[in-house]
Structure 1
């Protein structure tokens, strides 16, 4: 199976995403349904074809598809023991769906239409994070995992909750609604989080959260 898989029942969009990722030198394979991808992935796992943990290294998947949904496909992947990083794309995004996706370990949630370069950057960041995680898990980069753990310990439980929601792409107003606090309070939490984790932007925060999730420092 290719390094990156794209799962979407919209033929035109799937082919466009595959082409854009291939244009930056990535090996990409497309699937027209979540069930087709899942059947192939799990069959390869049983047959030992996925013994090299770097193949595939990430998936771009639509949420709403006929038959098996993207969310259900991710749920089954996690139940099988797979930690494959997944970014969801959808034309029907909402806060509740985004939160559900992130709880299952999705890396990000993009709403159509999205900029081609944004998706390319996100996939490349996922691949880089996967490489970092594999190095840490093999013991080659244990200091990095320890450093991230120490950073995370700087946050209070409430700050950690806000951190995850900001990293998942929610705006301050949305976070305030989810947590039942004022938008001003959310902004103060954001300021503290950026300061403690030494990041300067939401994309940097999201990248950090992705790496922490993949290292199982975050759930």
Structure 2
């Protein structure tokens, strides 16, 4: 190993022997299957030695890794559709990590963020954590601290993706309702009785009952309480 690589390893303390007790470094569980199933970690750091060291570490524990030297480079690259997180340097030429964190949601990027920095302070750390960062690590940091944060970030992103998929399915179900069924659903979840709904919509109670049954079937609601919960998730009041 060359002097540069050795210095890189010492700087980030990537050797297992550097961990308390030595031995094996635990890592996030990687899902078996194709790349689409494997968690991905995106690293954005302007220091090439840091990028190389993190790519080695994270790749060695079965994670997909993509490294970029700047936010602009990352934004220009094709996105990978997989659960993951973002390891982001705080201070970089051009757009800083903290500035990018503020703009991520507007850019349609929802990856949990782990900040790494060689120039951190308490105020900066508090600002990052208040904005939703998973962790704020000062260089040099232990492998395990980073891996623990990555595991938390990946799990958080899995939950977000699962919830987003479930909400999209509910929206699709709601979109399948006819205008009449949608009108009945809105009134059912607001607590109106069938006869009250019939009067408001100027239809018969039988028509309301039929549409109500269709709503329950299409929305896959097993009870009125279930339908109310679905309506709350969809923002129907």
- What corresponds to 2:152 in structure 1? 125
Counterparts of residues 1-219 of structure 1 (less than 5 Å) = 3-40=40-77, 44=78, 52=81, 54=82, 57-139=84-166
- What does the per-residue CA deviation read over 1:100-136, in whole Å, with 9 as the maximum and x for residues that have no partner? 2123322111011100121112112211222233334
Tell me how far apart the structure 2 counterparts of residues 103 and 39 of structure 1 sit (CA, whole Å). Answer: 28
Tell me how far apart the structure 1 counterparts of residues 160 and 106 of structure 2 sit (CA, whole Å). Answer: 20
SS of alignment partner, residue 88 of structure 2: strand
Q: Is the 8 A contact 2:88 2:116 kept in 1?
A: yes
Cα displacement (A) at 1:20: 0.3
Q: Is the 8 A contact 2:111 2:157 kept in 1?
A: no
Aligned positions, number: 130
Cα displacement (A) at 1:139: 4.1
CA RMSD for the aligned pairs?
A: 2.3
Tell me how far apart the structure 2 counterparts of residues 74 and 96 of structure 1 sit (CA, whole Å). Answer: 16
Which structure has the bigger radius of gyration?
2
Gaps of 5+ in 2: 1-35, 168-237
TM-score normalised by structure 2 residue count: 0.50
TM-score normalised by structure 1 residue count: 0.53
